[in-house]
A and B are shown apart, each in its own frame.
Chain A
Amino acid sequence: NAGVTQTPKFQVLKTGQSMTLQCAQDMNHNSMYWYRQDPGMGLRLIYYSASEGTTDKGEVPNGYNVSRLNKREFSLRLESAAPSQTSVYFCASTREWGGPTDTQYFGPGTRLTVL
């Protein structure tokens, strides 16, 4: 099992450009998440998908959109990138939604710089 994979690993964009971050998991998990990690801020939830076909906003959704393409894949799109979106982005998954003890499994991250 590869676990949670993310592409690309690194990306540099110019302000106003768009891009999609890809995430896939091969653990047959139902729930998937997108976080951003900024220095001194810890992890902040952008969007999540409790199950295939559903998505919901997290703490910092502005400037982002998501698609739960199927059970395995959950993508994050930046329509018009801004320097404030420079960050490290992590995708994660959990076995089920509503599990009080569920462990989050994280991908290796995408380091995004917006100039």
Chain B
Amino acid sequence: GNSVTQMEGPVTLSEEAFLTINCTYTATGYPSLFWYVQYPGEGLQLLLKATKADDKGSNKGFEATYRKETTSFHLEKGSVQVSDSAVYFCARLSYEGSYIPTFGRGTSLIVHP
């Protein structure tokens, strides 16, 4: 079935460090890929998305490139801030009889001053 695998957290970084959160997906169909972010005490909100191979999604300094050859959609940011501390979810969406999104388990990011 469809699945999304994320690196386990928590990821702990110092402010201004480089961030990578790995995400891989099952290759069934041609999914759209998403990163959602959940700040403490809130619901998830879309961070970025990519709908086809080699597309790059970007927002708020975060980037992720849809890599079909490696079935990956890794999230990166060149210089994290304390305010980036949150839980990040990778997700895929494709038609497999119905459009049901599949979420990864989430990766917690903690950024220290």
Contact = CB atoms under 8 A, between A and B. Distances in A.
B100 A58 contact: yes
Contact size range, A: 20 to 34
A4 B8 CA distance: 29
Contacts of A103: 34, 46, 49
A50 B95 CA distance: 13
Interface residues of B, number: 24
- Majority DSSP secondary structure for residues of A touching B: loop
A106 B34 CA distance: 14
Given A40-B105, A103-B46, A97 B99 contact: yes
A99 B41 CA distance: 29
Interface in B13-64: 32, 34, 36, 41-46, 49, 51
9 contacts: A56-B98, A100-B32, A100-B99, A101-B93, A102-B99, A104-B36, A104-B46, A106-B45, A107-B43
